[in-house]
Amino acid sequence: IKRITTRVIQELKTKGEKISALTAYDYSMARLVDAAGVELILVGDSASNVMAGHETTLPITLDQMIYHAASVVRAVRRALVVVDLPFGSYQGNSSEALRSAIRIMKESGAHAVKMEGGLEVKESIVRVLSAGVPVMGHLGLTPQSIYKFGGYAVRAKEETEAQKLLEDAKMLEEIGCFSVVLEKIPAALTKQVSDSLSIPTVGIGAGPDADGQILVLHDLLGITKEFKPRFLRRYADLHGIITGAIGQYVDDVKEREFPSKEEAY
């Protein structure tokens, strides 16, 4: 199998083929996601919510991100593996950002990093890029700034914020990011940004005109039950399937149905 590189991701936009992306945080799931043909696997800091049960992405550490990323890298044969730099590991200054990105690349074997924000983190992104580490940008509803936003509402509905987002996106392309995530912004703005950039946009809650789509794996599979924003399409009800299977196991143990003689030595 041919590996997906940042260059392949960029070529998909040129060819007019949509990019499929998903998150993964562990070896077993990453194997399935990769085998199913997703081009880009994000080891998202949503691991903080999905894997660790935190309410926000803020608590997850760089060491924890590296543990998740290394597990995913061991599983993946084809997809491009991108890893989120967690909150606090790159905003302070550009040398800290570079140190964090280098740790991720060296210790996990991932292929690229993702950083949230525009002009505010430009110096950090430039420094990471200058070391030869591919960077994916992330604009719109950036969850590491959730306490600044005060909630998970759609971003950039007003002209000034939309204008800043467009300028940030152009800046990210100019300094050399290979792609940019657009999260929870109006579909019309996604179209405008995607048309203005030659690098691909990857949307979540950003409408049909992004150059690719990304979702949190556990949301798509219906493992998480309570989280149901409009943008989420559930492709399976694993919550029902998993609790059903485990419930059956409990019953079988209680009823002495499991194990059978054939399942014993």
Active site residues: 183
- 60 Cα distance to chain centroid: 14
Task: Say if residues 258 and 248 touch (Cβ distance below 8 Å).
Answer: no
Pick between residue 63 and residue 257 the one whose CB is nearest to Na ion.
63
- For the four alpha carbons of 207, 45, 116 and 74, in that order, the dihedral sign comes to negative
- We find the least distance from the C-beta atom of residue 245 to ligand KIV, in angstroms, to be 26
- We find the least distance from the C-beta atom of residue 232 to Na ion, in angstroms, to be 16
Of 126, 62, 63, 116, give the one whose Cα is nearest residue 91: 116
From the list ligand KIV, Na ion, none, partner contacted by residue 216 (C-beta under 5 to 8 A by kind): ligand KIV
Does the annotation list 219 as a binding residue? no
Pick between residue 232 and residue 251 the one whose CB is nearest to ligand KIV.
232
Q: Is 204 in the site for ligand KIV (CB under 6 A)?
A: yes
Does the annotation list 260 as a binding residue? no
- We find the least distance from the C-beta atom of residue 241 to Na ion, in angstroms, to be 27
Pick between residue 23 and residue 201 the one whose CB is nearest to ligand KIV.
23
Q: Binders of ligand KIV among 35-54, rule CB under 6 A?
A: 42, 44-46
The residues that touch Na ion, with contacts defined as CB under 5 A, are 44-45, 84
The residues that touch ligand KIV, with contacts defined as CB under 6 A, are 23, 42, 44-46, 84, 181, 183, 204, 214, 216
